[in-house]
């Protein structure tokens, strides 16, 4: 089996409404979609959702990286994913979102070749995945209203964005817990927005609202700060921006800097590397979350299959496709039923129909 052709598309998608976190506001995302075709009439879909803030990537850098990577993969076996990823890493360092697009497409091919849903051949631990929905930063009152709307839609877990001002952040969480009642899981994410001192104050004040975990309270490079916050926090601390690669995960374990880790395909370079992070964390007794960064249904399907496969991925924040107004797929993926992603019997990622009109003509074709 060989890779015969790789097509690269760009897809600009608008958010349903402006989405604000401690680091800024987004109104749209411009992602890169790839289709990897093989000589077996099987093809796979992949997606890169670059984040300048998190990995330094943009739509342009993803395309430039793919310009270097794709020619080297033509003729290679799509099922030798470990070897194909090695080739990508030899061609260019970094550029994890660009590499994730290819990695995801290769895993789609793997599943389709085996004629099984991808999660079943990656480990098949669980058959459905509970996801939260994220409440972007607004006034505490507006966030409580948005929480109510999410609960009405059936969500059982909410991720509350904070990291602006301690008193206001505490108020956000108090009001959301009031609306949610006791049975809804609440997580918070400061996206590096607090100082260690602010984080300790905020976390001690919000612990009474039964908060499951707090993501990235302090800047990513402040490992000492993370450690200090962890030591003084009644709420478990999860690394997000501080963990990109399996080596980062090992460092955080060695430093004892966090209690948990948030894996994202766009930070680590795809499913293969994500499994390695989950394994490092598992060996250290740290549970993982799988998160997202503005992926459409293709990237979200990949992350959900991984979450279904791997025991140590105990939490999921896989909601970006529903926050986007523009949709790439019209059928398939891993549909959301209330708060739960339920796998279909579709092979690979389960993507059935892609809106080719929306996608337009490929920007590049490598063969
Ligand atoms: Mn986060």
CATH code of domain 3-115+355-366: 3.30.390.10
Nearest to 32 by CA among 15, 14, 13, 18: 13
Q: How far is the CA of 365 from the centre of ligand 1 (A)?
A: 34
Class of domain 120-352 (CATH, top level): alpha beta
Count the residues in the chain: 367
Give the pLDDT score at 136. 96
**Per-residue pLDDT tens listing for the chain (367 residues):** 999 999 999 999 999 999 999 889 999 999 999 999 999 999 999 999 999 999 999 999 999 999 999 999 999 999 999 999 999 999 999 999 999 999 999 999 999 999 999 999 999 999 999 999 999 999 999 999 999 999 999 999 999 999 999 999 999 999 999 999 999 999 999 999 999 999 999 999 999 999 999 999 999 999 999 999 999 999 999 999 999 999 999 999 999 999 999 999 999 999 999 999 999 999 999 999 999 999 999 999 999 999 999 999 999 999 999 999 999 998 889 999 999 999 999 999 999 999 999 999 999 999 9
Q: Residue 121 phi/psi, 5° resolution?
A: -95, -5
Q: How far is the CA of 159 from the centre of ligand 1 (A)?
A: 9
Burial class (CB in 10 A: 0-12, 13-18, 19+), 89: middle
Give the CA distances from residue 341 to residues 75, 305, 333, in Å, rounded to whole numbers and listed in that order: 35, 10, 10
Residue with tokens 């309270």: 217
Q: How far is the CA of 152 from the centre of ligand 1 (A)?
A: 24
Give the pLDDT score at 330. 87
**Active site residue ranges:** 161, 189, 215, 240, 264
Give the pLDDT score at 189. 98
Q: How far is the CA of 45 from the centre of ligand 1 (A)?
A: 25
**Domain boundary assignment for the chain:** 3-115+355-366, 120-352
Q: How far apart are CA 329 and CA 345, in angstroms?
A: 17
Q: How far apart are CA 83 and CA 267, in angstroms?
A: 20
Alpha helices in 74-192 (DSSP H): 81-91, 96-114, 118-122, 140-152, 166-180
pTM of the model: 0.97
Give the CA distances from residue 365 to residues 7, 34, 323, in Å, rounded to whole numbers and listed in that order: 5, 10, 30
Give the pLDDT score at 71. 98
Task: Convert 34-75 into a string of H (helix), E (strand) and C (coil).
Answer: EEEEECCCCEEEEEECCCHHHHCCCHHHHHHHHHHHHHHHCC
């Amino acid at each position: 089996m060989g890779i015969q052709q790789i097509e690269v598309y760009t897809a600009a998608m608008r958010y349903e409404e402006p989405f604000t976190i401690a680091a800024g506001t987004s109104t749209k995302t411009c992602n890169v979609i790839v289709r990897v075709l093989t000589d077996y009439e099987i093809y796979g879909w992949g997606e890169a959702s670059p984040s300048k803030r998190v990995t330094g990537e943009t739509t342009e850098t993803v395309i430039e990286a793919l310009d270097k990577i794709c020619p080297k993969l033509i003729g290679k076996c799509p099922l030798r994913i470990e070897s194909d990823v090695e080739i990508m890493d030899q061609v260019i360092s970094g550029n994890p979102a660009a590499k994730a697009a290819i990695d995801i497409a290769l895993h789609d091919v793997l599943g389709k070749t085996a004629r099984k849903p991808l999660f079943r051949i990656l480990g098949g631990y669980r058959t459905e995945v509970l996801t939260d929905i994220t409440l972007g930063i607004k006034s505490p009152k507006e966030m409580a209203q948005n929480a109510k709307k999410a609960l009405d839609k059936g969500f059982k877990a909410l991720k509350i964005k904070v990291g602006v001002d301690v008193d206001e952040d505490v108020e956000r969480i108090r009001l959301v817990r009031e609306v949610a009642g006791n049975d809804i899981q609440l997580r918070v994410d400061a996206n590096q927005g607090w100082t260690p001192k602010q984080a300790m104050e905020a976390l001690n004040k919000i612990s009474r609202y039964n908060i499951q975990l707090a993501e990235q309270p302090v800047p990513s490079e402040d490992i000492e700060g993370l450690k200090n916050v962890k030591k003084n926090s009644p709420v478990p601390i999860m690394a997000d921006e501080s963990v990109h690669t399996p080596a980062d995960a090992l460092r955080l374990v060695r430093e004892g800097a966090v209690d948990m880790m948030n894996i994202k395909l766009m930070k680590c370079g795809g499913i293969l590397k994500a499994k390695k992070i989950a394994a490092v964390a598992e060996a250290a007794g740290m549970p993982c979350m799988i998160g997202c960064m503005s992926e459409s249904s293709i990237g979200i399907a990949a992350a959900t299959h991984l979450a279904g496969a791997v025991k140590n991925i105990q939490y999921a924040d896989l909601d970006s496709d529903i926050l986007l107004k523009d949709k790439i797929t019209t059928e398939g993926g891993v549909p959301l039923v209330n708060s739960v992603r339920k796998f279909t019997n579709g092979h690979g990622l389960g993507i059935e129909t892609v809106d080719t009109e929306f996608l337009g003509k490929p920007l590049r074709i490598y063969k």
